[in-house]
A = this chain, B = another copy of it.
Amino acid sequence: MELTPLNPPNVPITHHHLLDLNAWTADEIHTVFNTADEMAQILQRRVRKAPALQGFTVCSLFFENSTRTSMSFERAAKALSADVLSFRAKSSSLSKGESLKDTLRTIEAYQADLYIVRHRASGVPYQLTRWTDACIVNAGDGRRAHPTQALLDAFTFRNTFPNFDGFAGKKLTIVGDLMHSRVARSNIRLWSKLGAEVTLCGPRSLCPASLADTPNVSLTHNLAEAVEGAHAVMAVRIQHERMQNSLFPSLAEYQARYQVTPEIMKQAHPDALVMHPGPMNRDVEISGALADCERSVIEQQVANGVPVRMAVLYTLLVGGRQKAAM
């Protein structure tokens, strides 16, 4: 494994949960990235599997549908030889009128070692920490946080930006429906913590000023200005169903003013990367041609989902204890 010399050395991590990135230090995050490098190497082997989590049970609790995220976690857990249970809310007792508390109490009875939780209400993963001793990983709660997505986005930038020399001095621009996006919120938090500047951009109705009330984060409604000098431009999904909302510009207006295109990328840093956390609406928030061009690292983002999630599962379940014991 080659580390860039600017990578801080590994630190012991004793977190029991990954609810959001608030409590995680930059050093801890760099340590997760280093672990993810090792996990990526396991996935390069002929037998892409390691026994690190043998005997552990990981349970995914998806109260919202998300095949891509749940399967990425499931693959990550199995690649480390953990057992996996999958709970899908649709067929659950929730539809029989059982309260969330009673459902979670039932789930706790499965006695898993780690729960991966996605829910449309912010704070559900946090709630669950009060009802179980198991580790909790937030796989997306409401508009609040989606920390593993942000980790894999930043990890992808770290491993693909030419001559990467650290996040300090780098500029990330995020464009799209930021108001409803937990991915945007987690990326804002993560990149600014790592020392980068973050510029937010989108129509007024989807990009409220309150998102930029932290140091190193700014906001503009002008795309050219936002992209100016950026080292990474990340387009975020526009949800068609929101188009019908009168506050929102029409689809044609949005495309004309905010679509990330090869043309607008000329304003960015010459080495700038194009990113998208998926699923993409080609030719809505991002031009299809740009998504497939050389500077696009969208495929790498997707590919990094498994090793980054392997690193998170490993760190919470055994990594911390072992490293603390070293």
- Is A47 at the interface (CB under 8 A from chain B)? yes
Partner of A87, one of B47, B71, B280, B299: B71
Instruction: Answer whether residue A210 sits at the interface, using C-beta atoms and an 8 A cutoff.
Output: no
- The residue in A111, A282, A299 that gathers the most chain B C-beta atoms within 10 A of its C-beta is A111
Q: Which B residue sits closest to A67, measured CB to CB?
A: B92
A243 and B69 CA atoms in complex are apart in Å by 40
Contact pick for A105, options B83, B97, B299, CB 8 Å: B299
Q: CA A317 – CA B282 in complex, angstroms?
A: 35
Sample of 11 further A-B pairs with CB below 8 A, known A105-B299, A109-B305: A47-B55, A48-B113, A57-B75, A68-B106, A75-B110, A78-B85, A93-B278, A98-B278, A106-B302, A109-B302, A110-B306
Per-position 1/0 for A187-228, Cβ under 8 A of B = 000000000000000000000000000000000000000000
Per the 8 Å Cβ criterion, residues 292-307 of A in contact with B are 299, 302-303, 305-306
Name the residue of chain B whose CB is nearest to the CB of A78.
B83
Distance from A52 Cβ to chain B, minimum over Cβ atoms (Å): 13
- 24 A–B contacts from the bound complex (CB under 8 Å): A47-B55, A47-B56, A48-B55, A49-B57, A66-B91, A68-B92, A71-B110, A75-B110, A75-B111, A78-B83, A78-B85, A96-B279, A97-B279, A98-B279, A98-B280, A99-B282, A102-B278, A102-B279, A102-B280, A102-B282, A103-B279, A105-B299, A110-B306, A111-B303
